[in-house]
């Protein structure tokens, strides 16, 4: 914790005393009147509903001392902390096939269960929990994990996000890259007549060629 302190008089020295670790920072070390200092109190984990008492003493040029006492309540609020596993996630190919989907895991490292859990993909990304051993639901307990699948179907490569949020309003974005399936068209050439007769007959003949490209089928 930090508190601003404005010096009302000139001082030669400032000291702090507290039931927690404390210090005073006045920038360049000037204790002259009007200087803005920062009183810092280090509160370590595991403290709950405790009073932090800080005494700030200033020594005047005449040797006398002034003291300021600060009392503040220190409380630890339990809250979830969601850790998302997976960075640089790539879906290849982005043809919607189940075999190409990727699995993302969420772990709750906080001090409270996460409720109102929501997972929202941005198009063309989609999510599902089919085949996942610990599927994500509406809540996630302390020190527990859950997973979901991310897939994509797109004719062009790109990237987009999946937003993960909870009831406390905390949210995180994970970036997903997807690679479009390589086009492999099938080309069919169909002549309207016989090329053999056109060459062997020594007479001019008209032969029409029909080119047909078959687009690749979607794999499932």
Q: What is the pTM of this model?
A: 0.55
Q: Which residue has the higher pLDDT, 55 or 85?
A: 55
Percent of the chain with pLDDT over 70: 78
pLDDT tier at 220 (50, 70, 90 boundaries)? Answer: very low
Would you identify the CATH topology of the domain 82-179?
Answer: Immunoglobulin-like (2.60.40)
Average the pLDDT over each of 5-19, 38-52, 66-80 and give the range with the smallest value: 38-52
CA 37 to CA 29: how far, in whole Å?
Answer: 9
Other Cβ atoms within 10 Å of 29 Cβ, number: 8
Q: Which residue has the higher pLDDT, 174 or 51?
A: 174
- Per-residue pLDDT tens over the stretch 194-214: 555 555 455 555 656 666 665
| Per-residue buried b or exposed e for 126-151, using 16+ beta carbons within 10 Å of the residue's own CB | eeebeeeeeebeebbeeeebbbbbbb
Q: Which residue has the higher pLDDT, 190 or 142?
A: 142
Predicted pLDDT at 149: 95
In this prediction, residues 87-114 reach a mean pLDDT of: 89
pLDDT tier at 27 (50, 70, 90 boundaries)? Answer: confident
Quote the longest CA-to-CA distance of the chain.
125
pLDDT tier at 67 (50, 70, 90 boundaries)? Answer: very high
Predicted pLDDT at 211: 66
Mean pLDDT over all residues of the chain?
83
CA 164 to CA 82: how far, in whole Å?
Answer: 9
Q: Give the Å distances, CA to CA, from 90 to 97, 120, 125, 159.
A: 14, 18, 11, 9
The pLDDT of residue 14 is above 90: yes
Average the pLDDT over each of 69-83, 98-112, 175-189 and give the range with the smallest value: 175-189
Residue (of 136, 149, 164) closest to 96 by Cα position: 149
Predicted pLDDT at 73: 77
DSSP string, 143-158: T-EEEEEEEEB-SS-E
């Amino acid at each position: 914790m930090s508190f601003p302190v404005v010096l009302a008089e000139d001082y030669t020295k400032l000291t702090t005393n507290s039931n927690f670790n404390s210090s005073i920072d006045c920038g360049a070390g000037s204790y002259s009147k009007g200087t803005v200092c920062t009183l810092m109190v280090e509160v370590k984990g595991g403290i709950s509903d405790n009073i932090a008492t800080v005494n700030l003493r200033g020594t005047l040029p005449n040797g006398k001392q002034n003291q300021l006492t600060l009392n503040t309540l220190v409380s630890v609020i339990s809250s979830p902390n969601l850790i998302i596993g997976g960075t640089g996630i790539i879906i290849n190919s982005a043809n919607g096939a189940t075999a190409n989907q990727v699995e993302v895991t969420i772990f709750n490292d906080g001090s409270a269960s996460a409720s109102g859990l929501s997972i929202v993909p941005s198009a063309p990304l989609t999510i599902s929990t089919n085949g996942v051993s610990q599927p994500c639901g509406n809540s996630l307990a302390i020190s527990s994990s859950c997973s979901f699948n991310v897939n994509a179907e797109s004719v062009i490569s790109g990237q987009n996000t999946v937003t993960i949020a909870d009831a406390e309003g905390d949210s995180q974005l994970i970036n997903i890259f997807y690679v479009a399936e390589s086009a492999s068209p099938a080309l069919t050439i169909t002549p309207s007549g016989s090329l053999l007769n056109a060459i062997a007959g020594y007479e001019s003949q008209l032969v029409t060629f029909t080119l047909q490209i078959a687009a690749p089928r979607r794999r499932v």
